[in-house]
């Protein structure tokens, strides 16, 4: 695979440069590599928070997109076929209340609350703690002594900050259906315990630059330093205190790397990225469906650990966690209860998906979902939506998508739409890409694998 070859080459170059540096710099370099791998979910979170702040939002407000998001949203593998509402909570001044409205017919809120390490606190909505009846979730800070309160679903957070990723799904992309999904989503409230729900502030960031891609340079360490200043050390991570101090990241101290140290950081970030790229390619073996190239984009140990706060004392898959949070964000408490994800980076013949070529994905009829499915193309390099595209996905809730006579749907990916296939086409703008297939409200045939998603197939040479 081309990406794996490039990653190996980068590792070779990094190793050559590493061998020629003084011993103290080599130690700083190796520790910086470990810092990138360990700190990936924290920096991923901080990048999203800083993007929200750059758009005028504050913690404990509801950041939302008033339309299905476009490529201006540069978070990692977001869903362009829903309405996103994304409160960032901050409990440094005390507990925070999150109100979720009850499901009403097709109107439903689904999602999860995660701490700043992106460990799931709880799912919300029909597959979550409120079971679709709605409710008040009380998010409490580390060390909170107040205990649970009647009438609240208590979510103890072991970080002061975190976020809630929520989706208000729509029946179609008509203006009326989208407006209805936004109006229903704005029934979400977030406010301090004892405060007024009516004080909730909503900040629309649709069509605004929202760059949360991972910076593989010295800025990664700047972001990690900002995180360390706010969050408490967890017992499982105390081994990192001395390691981070040795590269200039220390609680209560400023972060002022000199030019030489920034150079070390740049090299270390590139090496860490190359290692992550290699490990990412390894996630697809074995595949989810035998004989295909579809896989859940996270190892089993990471999925379990992120949902339990790494409760298993004999498992802490830091490298696997870095791989997952280098390409996506958030974790569900119960993966598969409300949503399921399959990723592919190769075509049927095992070749990397090339944005200069044209491909077809045939989604078989009777997809096992109670809500909808979608297929989204992401830039293989950044794992964000491909820039400057007219759209990024096609979904079963896209009313103009055409079905085949047998009920299946052909989705096309490529630089240009095949003749007569414009409605089912996802542009790639010539960028190497990957495809994430989402299933909302997944049903038994998916897990029993009696319904199988076939590989993406190359259909023409451009």
For residues 424 and 395, give the distance between their C-alpha atoms in angstroms, rounded to a whole number.
9
Q: Assess contact for 355 and 457: CB atoms under 8 A.
A: no
pTM: 0.92
Phi-psi region of 216 (alpha: psi -120 to 50; beta: other; left: phi over 0): beta
| pLDDT tens string 28-46 | 999 999 999 999 999 999 9
For residue 6, what pLDDT band results from cuts at 50, 70 and 90?
A: low
User: Using omega within 30 degrees of 0 as the cis cutoff, is the peptide bond preceding 360 cis?
Assistant: no
For residue 148, what pLDDT band results from cuts at 50, 70 and 90?
A: confident
* Interval 422-443 mean pLDDT: 96
- More reliable by pLDDT, 458 or 339: 458
**Percent with pLDDT over 70 in the chain:** 94
Q: For residue 220, what are its two tokens?
A: 């990664």
pLDDT higher than 70, residue 22:
no
- Lowest-pLDDT range, 8-22, 107-121, 209-223, 408-422? 8-22
Burial group, residue 406, by CB count within 10 angstroms (0-12, 13-18, 19+): exposed
**Cα angle, residue 344 at apex, residues 418 and 125 outer, rounded to 5°:** 105
Q: Assess contact for 136 and 151: CB atoms under 8 A.
A: yes
pLDDT higher than 50, residue 462:
no
For residue 397, what pLDDT band results from cuts at 50, 70 and 90?
A: confident
Q: How many residues does the chain have?
A: 462
* Interval 65-71 mean pLDDT: 97
- 3 state SS of 140: strand
Residue whose tokens read 């301090």? 192
pLDDT higher than 80, residue 8:
no
All domains in the chain, ordered by first residue: 2-50+213-281 (1.10.3360.10), 62-208 (2.60.40.1610), 283-460 (2.60.120.600)
C-alpha distances (whole Å) from 87 to each of 42, 202, 206, 453 are: 17, 9, 15, 34
Mean pLDDT taken over the chain: 93
For residue 46, the surrounding DSSP H or E stretch is: helix 23-54
C-alpha distances (whole Å) from 98 to each of 114, 130, 198, 351, 373 are: 13, 12, 12, 45, 28
Could you tell me which of 339, 452, 437 has the C-alpha nearest to residue 393? 437
For residue 1, what pLDDT band results from cuts at 50, 70 and 90?
A: low
Q: Which residues contact 448 (CB under 8 A, 6 or more apart)?
A: none
């Amino acid at each position: 695979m081309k990406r794996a070859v490039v990653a190996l080459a980068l590792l070779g170059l990094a190793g050559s440069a590493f061998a020629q540096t003084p011993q103290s710099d080599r130690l700083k370099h190796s520790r910086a590599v470990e810092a990138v791998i360990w700190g990936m979910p924290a920096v991923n979170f901080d990048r999203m928070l800083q993007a929200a702040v750059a758009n005028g939002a504050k913690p404990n407000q509801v950041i939302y997109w008033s339309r299905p998001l476009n490529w201006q949203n540069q978070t990692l593998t977001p869903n362009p076929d829903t309405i996103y509402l994304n409160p960032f909570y901050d409990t440094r001044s005390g507990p925070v209340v999150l109100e979720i409205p009850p499901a009403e017919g097709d109107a439903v809120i689904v999602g999860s609350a995660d701490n700043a390490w992106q460990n799931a606190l709880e799912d919300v909505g029909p597959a979550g703690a409120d079971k679709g009846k709605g409710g008040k979730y009380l998010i409490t800070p580390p060390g909170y002594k107040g205990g649970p309160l009647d009438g609240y679903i208590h979510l103890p957070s072991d970080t002061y900050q975190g976020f809630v990723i929520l989706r208000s799904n729509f029946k179609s992309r008509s203006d009326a259906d989208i407006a209805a999904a936004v109006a229903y989503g704005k029934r979400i409230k977030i406010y301090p315990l004892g405060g007024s729900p009516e004080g909730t502030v909503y900040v629309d960031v649709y069509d605004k630059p929202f760059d949360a891609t991972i910076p593989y340079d010295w800025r990664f360490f700047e972001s990690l330093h900002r995180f360390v200043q706010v969050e408490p050390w967890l017992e499982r991570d105390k081994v990192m205190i001395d390691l981070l101090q040795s590269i200039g990241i220390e609680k209560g101290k400023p972060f002022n790397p000199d030019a030489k140290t920034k150079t070390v950081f740049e090299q270390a970030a590139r090496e860490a990225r190359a290692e992550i790229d290699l490990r990412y390619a390894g996630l697809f073996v074995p595949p989810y469906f035998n004989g295909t190239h579809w896989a859940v984009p996270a190892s089993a140990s990471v999925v379990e650990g992120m949902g339990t706060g790494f409760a298993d004392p004999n498992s802490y898959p830091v490298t696997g966690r870095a791989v997952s949070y280098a390409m996506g964000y958030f974790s569900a408490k119960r993966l598969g209860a409300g949503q399921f994800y399959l990723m592919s980076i190769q075509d049927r013949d095992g070749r990397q998906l090339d944005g200069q070529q044209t491909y077809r994905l045939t989604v078989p009829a009777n997809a096992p979902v109670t809500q909808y499915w979608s297929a989204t193309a992401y830039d293989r390099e950044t794992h964000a939506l491909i820039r400057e595209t007219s759209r990024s996905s096609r979904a079963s809730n896209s009313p103009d998508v055409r079905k085949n006579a047998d009920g299946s749907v052909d989705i096309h990916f490529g630089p240009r739409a095949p003749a007569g296939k414009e409605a089912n086409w996802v542009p790639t703008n010539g960028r190497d890409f990957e495809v994430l297939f989402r299933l909302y409200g997944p049903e038994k045939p998916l897990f029993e694998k009696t319904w199988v998603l076939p590989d993406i197939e190359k259909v023409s040479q451009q």
